[in-house]
Structure 1
Amino acid sequence: MGVRSRWMLISVGLGVLLNPLNSSMVAVAIPRLRHVFQLDFTVVSWVIVTFYLASAAAQPIMGKASDVFGRKNIFLTGLVIAFVASLAAPLSPSFGWLIVFRIVQSIGTSMMVAVGLAIVRVHIEEKQAAALSVLSSFQSGAAALGPFVGGLLLHWWDWPAIFFVNIPFTVASFIFAWRTIPDDEPPRSSSRKTSLRSWLDVMDAPGVLLFTAGLIALLLGLLSAKASGHVSFIHIFAGLIGLALLAVFVRHEFRTASPFIPLRTFAKYPEITWVNIEFMIVNVLFYAIFFGLPSYLQEVRHIAEFHTGILMLALGLCSLAAAPLAGRWIDRAGPGPALFVSAILMTFGSVWIVTLNPASPVISVCVALAAFGISNGVNSVGLQAALLRSSPKEIIGVASGLFSTSRNVGAILSSLLISIVIGDVFNFAGFRLLGIILTVISVSLVIMNRRRREPGQWEKSKA
């Protein structure tokens, strides 16, 4: 890998870390925001929920846009949008405006995440797993280190700092990306005379609207049920509307000439679907620990925010350490063996949680954090490598966007799982039950990986 490629990876890494960093860092600021805006927990939690909703919807759309308008253009535009939103959010005159700027920030950071994998796929031919390990170190490390960084910023400054901290990352990434990411070849359909209607046809505007409306309605139904603590007719109705719109979306995609998500191509490469399903499952496991353990430490063990952030540092450090090692391993042996070992580690971490009791040393929590941190680093590299090997170049943008959406859906489902299992008041019995459920899920993942990882399965698709 040449010097230019390394600097290009750094520039992309500085951009893709912004989405997971901002989705996780704000979690420790919820109590402060409640006090500042004088709101209850249910209302303030939408500062997290809206970020995930916007990311889940925006990432595949931006991936498709990158296939049409160019990956470098989308990446740089995303950096500008994230920069503006990070400057404006601390100046919000009300909580409603803060939500608006969080949504804008989510869309901007989603633009970098959606094209990061595509840039690696197109511009780096050799040692792609090693390159992916660099991106994973930025992305998974930022997600895991977010609570620690947020706790540190809140301890020394105040909640606006969790937005201002994005500024140096956006500026550095923009400078490096402008100089190192090669310009994209103009799309075949591009022309100076191309009309807006033609671009909307290429982007499949009806498909985008159906997908966005259906996904948001479905997730809003789930998240509203979580926030209210019970399932009502309105929640069920919203979910059914979402499913109906997604069904219409699927029908539309099979009929249109230029589909937003090329379902026929995905059917030709079924491994893309399996990779996304597995990525969603592993993120349900990871984020259940990521969200659940800080609440356990603060609500059950009465550990301060700052010290909770220090303990959670084990998760981030293990992810960072595991990613480059996983990249070398996957370059030699393929993603199969690494993903199987990762599933075993998640099973061990889940079982460890079940064995904890209220008198267990707080430091023993780090054992589970280490197991999930290592598995997170391995999963990020392994499943990204599997996606690149199974995706043809012409759809890599939208495939990368859907892959990132799978992460967000997994995070949302994990939050819903915690709410259902534990209820309104976080307690040790509910936390142990959560560990049992995670054990069952992770054992199923071990079995699935054992059966699916056959020799030669992960061969690259021919574009």
Structure 2
Amino acid sequence: MNARSRWLLISVGLGVLLNPLNSSMIAVAIARLQKVYQLDFTVVSWIIFSFYIASAVAQPVMGKASDLFGRKKIFLSGLVVAFAASLLAPLSPNFGWLIVFRIVQSIGTSMMVSVGMAIVRIHITKKQATALSVLSIFLSGAAAIGPFIGGVLIHWWDWQAIFLVNVPFAAMSFLLAWRNIPKDESSSVLPSNMTVREWLAWLDAPGILLFAIGLVAVLVGLLSAKSAGHVSSMHMIVGLIGILSLAAFVRHELKAEAPFIPLRTFAKYPAMTSVNVEFILVNLLYYSLFFGLPSYLQTVRHVSEIHTGLLMLSLGLCSLMVSPIAGRWIDKAGTRPALLLSGVLMTLGSLWLVTLSQTSPVFSVCLALAAFGISNGLNSVGMQAVLFRSAPKQMIGVASGVFMTSRYIGTILSSLLLSIIMGDAFNAGGFRLIGVILSFIAIILVYMSWRRREPMNQSEES
């Protein structure tokens, strides 16, 4: 790999890491935000919901928009948006404004993730697999060290620092990207004279709007009822609006020429549908621990932010170390053994959470983290391998986009589970109940892995 390619990788990598970094740093800040704004856990959970809902919508949208406006322009614009949001978030006069800036930050960082891989694929033609693996290290590494960085920043400064830390990364990436990312070619797969109406139809704006409204309304209805302690007519109306919006979304996607999520196409390939369902459940499990354990440690066990970050670092490091081993194993033995072991480890880790008490040694926490970390490393490689082997070559891009949306849905569901079980504040009994629920989900994943047949490589056949 020549010097030009290395600098391009660094430029793109510094930008794309901002999304996983900001999605993971917040895990250690939730308990602190509860104290600062005097809010219960259910309300503060919107700092997680908002980021992932915005990412679920923005990433595929911005990926499509880059075909019209150019990948370099979208990437640089994302850096500007993320830079501005990270500067303004610490100045938020209340929690509502913090959520607004968090959404803007999510959109900005999603703009870079959605086109970063494409930039590398297009402009690095030699040793492309190596280049993509390096970019994956930026993504997975940022997610792994996020809780540790967040813990250090909150310990020595305060929650505002987890936003301000983005500023130098965004500024440095902008300067490097401006210099090292080649200009977009003038030729485009889309006509340059598209009207606003045609552009919105191409992006599937109605589908995006129905998806976002439905998801937010269902979450608001459920969480509002939980906070109030009873189900009122208003809660039911909001929830019904959400359900009807999602139903309208499904109907619209089945008829749309360029759907946001191609439901009809996925129905033709059951293996792709199955792996997306599994990926939702995997992320529900993983992020329930990822977001739940830091609050449990800080609220119930009274562990400091910096020590919580250190403990959570073991989760990410186990995942990082296992990923390359999982790749070699899957190449030789296929996906089924690795995913089966992953399901068993998640089951054991979830059962271990049930045994935790206020007097449990730190070693017990590390065992659960190690089990989930190893399983996450196996899943990150195994699930993608199943997807690529089951997806036809002509729709691998669409399949990858929906795969990422499945990840966000699983993450949103994990936050919803934590909010419903915990309510006002974290407690040991609620955390054990979460462990029981996660154990049942993990057993389902073990069964699905056991029943899986090794998928034929659709990409090569098509």
Bigger relative contact order, structure 1 or 2 (CA pairs below 8 A, ≥6 apart): 1
Alignment match, 2:58? 58
* CA distance, structure 1, for counterparts of residue 138 and residue 387 of structure 2: 18
- CA RMSD across the alignment: 3.3
Aligned amino acid, residue 188 of structure 1: V
Measured against aligned partners, the alpha-carbon deviations of 1:261-315 in whole angstroms (never above 9, x if no partner) come to 3333323333332232111111111111112222332233222222222212211
Pair 1:433–1:47, CA change in 2 (3 A): closer
1:446 Cα shift?
1.3
1:388-443 per-position Cα deviation (integer Å, ceiling 9, x unaligned)? 44445665555444322322221222222234444545333332232222122112
Task: State the SS of the aligned residue for 1:460.
Answer: helix
Q: Which residue of 1 aligns with 2:283?
A: 283
* Maintained 8 Å contact 1:354/1:433: yes
Distance 1:382 1:173, change over 3 A: farther
Letter in 2 for 1:415: S
| Aligned equivalents of 2:226, 2:127: Cα separation in 1 | 43
Equivalent in the alignment of 2:89: 89
Alpha-carbon distance in structure 1 between the residues aligned to 2:143 and 2:388: 22
- Name whichever of 228-237 and 283-292 sits farther off: 228-237
Larger mean Cα displacement after TM superposition, 422-431 or 178-187? 178-187
Partner Cα distance (1:262, 1:5) in 2: 34
- SS, match of residue 250 in structure 2: helix
- Quickly say closer, same or farther: Cα 1:222–1:394, change in 2 above 3 A: farther
Q: Does the 8 Å CA contact 2:351/2:439 hold for their aligned counterparts?
A: yes
Shift of 1:18: 1.8
1:437 and 2:431 matched:
no
- Look up the match of 1:111: 111
- Give the distance between the partners of 2:140 and 2:71, measured in 1 at CA: 22
Matches within 5 A, 1:210-229: 210-228=210-228
- Counterpart of 2:171 in structure 1 is 171
1:131–1:327 contact (8 Å) kept in structure 2: no
Alignment partners' CA distance in 2, 1:2 and 1:334: 34
Q: Distance in 2 between matches of 1:282 and 1:437?
A: 13
**Cα deviation 1:299-337 (Å, max 9, x = unaligned):** 332222222222122112112222233334445555443
2:370 alignment counterpart = 370
Matched, 1:316 2:321: no
Does the Cα contact within 8 Å between 1:337 and 1:453 map onto a contact in 2? Answer: no
Equivalent residue letter for 1:349: G
What code does the residue aligned with 1:307 have?
Answer: H
Pair 308,71 (structure 1): closer, same or farther in 2 beyond 3 Å: same
Q: Does the 8 Å contact 1:153/1:162 carry over to 2?
A: yes
Matched with 2:189 is 188
Corresponding residue of 1:20: 20
Residues in 2 aligned to 1:121 and 1:451: alpha-carbon distance in whole angstroms: 35
3-state SS of the aligned residue for 1:259? coil
Q: Which amino acid aligns with 2:206?
A: P
Matches within 5 A, 1:33-52: 33-34=33-34, 36-37=36-37, 42-52=42-52
Partner of 2:412: 412
Indicate whether 1:460 and 2:459 are aligned.
yes
Query: Over residues 87-127 of structure 1, what are the superposed CA-to-partner deviations in whole Å (9 max), with x where a residue is unaligned?
Result: 22223344433222111101111223334555567677898
Q: Distance in 1 between matches of 2:89 and 2:191?
A: 36
Change (3 A) 1:208 1:359: closer
Percent identity reads: 67
Q: Retained in 1: the 8 A contact 2:154–2:305?
A: no
Counterparts of 1:248 and 1:285, CA distance in 2: 29
CA gap of 1:262–1:427, structure 2 versus 1, over 3 A, is: closer
Moved more, 262-271 or 284-293: 262-271
1:125-274 correspondence to structure 2 within 5 Å:
134-178=134-178, 179-180=180-181, 183=184, 186-191=187-192, 193-228=193-228, 230-274=230-274
What residue in structure 1 maps to residue 29 of structure 2? Answer: 29
Please tell me whether the aligned partners of residues 390 and 461 of structure 1 are also in contact (alpha carbons under 8 angstroms).
no
Give me the whole-angstrom Cα distance separating, in 1, the residues matched to 2:76 and 2:142. Answer: 20
Instruction: Give the whole-Å Cα distance in 2 for the aligned partners of 1:10 and 1:2.
Output: 13
**Mapped contact 1:336–1:453 kept (Cα < 8 A):** yes
CA distance in 2, matches of 1:330, 1:79: 36
Aligned length: 461
Hey, what's the Cα distance between the residues in 2 that align with 1:67 and 1:388? 23
2:286·2:372 contact (CA, 8 Å) conserved in 1? yes
Taking the aligned partners of 2:380 and 2:240, their CA distance within structure 1 comes to: 32
User: Any gaps of 5 or more consecutive residues in structure 1?
Assistant: none
Amino acid of the residue matched to residue 249 of structure 2? F
TM-score by length of structure 1 reads 0.86
The one-letter code sitting in structure 2 at the alignment partner of 1:322 is V
Question: Distance between the aligned counterparts of 1:185 and 1:333, measured in 2?
Answer: 45
Would the alpha carbon gap of residues 439 and 5 (structure 1) be closer, same or farther in structure 2, given more than 3 Å must change? farther
1:372 Cα deviation after fit: 0.7
Distance in 2 between residues matched to 1:135 and 1:275, nearest whole Å: 24
2:49–2:415 CA contact under 8 A, matched in 1? no
Assess, with a 3 A threshold, how the Cα gap between structure 1 residues 279 and 14 changes in structure 2: closer, same or farther. farther
